[in-house]
Amino acid sequence: MTFKWAGPILLLAALVIGDQIRLNRPGHKYLMSVSVATPDGIKSASGVFAVVPYRGYSVSGATRTRGDALFVDLGHGKNLLALMMHGEKGAETDGMNYVALRAYRAAGRNVSFGNLSQMTGSVPVTGDLIPVLITFADLADPKTARVASPDDLAGVLGAGYRLNGITVTVVKNGFWPLDFGGSLGEPVTHGIGGKLPWWNGTDAPAAAALRAAGLVPTAAEARMPFDAMAAFIRK
């Protein structure tokens, strides 16, 4: 009896695993880098994001981006975060899905969303494509968050601080879910929780930070601008 059902069971398992790979494999990945000029020189941070088009069976699904907000340690207790949100008051939370596409197009590269994984080289992220930037006066207190204008970082950080540039570079998808690095593909960057002393796995402090910065937290997804996986898992 065991051998009789072994074949069908293995086939079913292969079909299920194959479908999960189809549903969750990124359409493309990109590396975003943020560079800030400080009185002590250039400070920077970068991270890999994975954009997963919706390939499910429901009409209500949506494209999602996996990754974390970028944290730039500026020294002397100063910091800058590029959140995973765009627009006035951070109302556009799906901007990270299309920032690479829009940046390549703005740079004159006529590419479709489906073919974005074939792009090479870095392109600048400017204007409305720049994610919402915030800074914490006291990194241990989420209520000290303030929005930092890309055109005037000195307004909140002090003299000598300015945005040196933001770029995106499409990187290889690799072999998801085995994309652990090297020839297997660039892994998505995580770890923002380790940068924020108040991060405790709940939405409350993240929502407090967004409200303090005058942004719009979605009640059920307040962590999403910091850690997209929190919302990705829920969906």
Residue 134: the pLDDT is 97
Kindly give the pairing relationship between strand 41-52 and strand 28-38.
antiparallel
Residue 232 confidence (pLDDT): 45
pLDDT of residue 230: 52
Alpha-carbon distance of 108 to 181, in angstroms, equals 30
CA dihedral 121, 102, 29, 24 (to 10 degrees): -160
pLDDT, one tens digit per residue, over 17-41 is 555 655 678 889 999 999 999 999 9
Task: Read off the pLDDT band of 92 (50, 70, 90).
Answer: confident
More confident residue, 128 or 179: 128
pLDDT at 76: 94
| Region 2-25 average pLDDT | 65
Reported residue count of the chain is 235
Q: Which two tokens stand for residue 192?
A: 């923002």
Per-residue 3-state assignment (H helix, E strand, C coil) for the chain: CHHHHHHHHHHHHHHHHHHHHHHHCCCEEEEEEEEEEECCEEEEEEEEEEEECCCCCCCCCCCEEECECEEEEEECCEEEEECCCECHHHCECCHHHHHHHHHHHHCCCCCCHHHHHHCCCEEECCHHHCCCEEEECCCCCHHHEEECCCCCCHHHHCCCCEEEEEEEEEECCCCCCCCCCHHHCCCCCCCHHHCCCCCCCCCHHHHHHHHHCCCCCCHHHCCCCCEHHHHHHHC
Which of residues 155 and 1 earns the better pLDDT score? 155
Q: What is the pTM of this model?
A: 0.87
Lowest mean pLDDT among 162-176, 196-210, 219-233: 219-233
pLDDT digit string, tens, across residues 41-73: 999 999 999 998 877 677 667 888 999 999 999
Determine how many CB atoms are found less than 10 A away from the CB of residue 138: 12
Sheet holding 162-171, edge to edge: 64-66, 41-52, 28-38, 162-171, 122-124
Place of tokens 């999602």: 64
Both tokens assigned to 12: 């079913």
How far lies 150's CA from each of 87, 117, 142, in Å?
Answer: 13, 28, 21
Q: Average pLDDT, whole number, for the chain?
A: 86
Task: State the Cα–Cα distance between residues 2 and 8, nearest whole angstrom.
Answer: 11
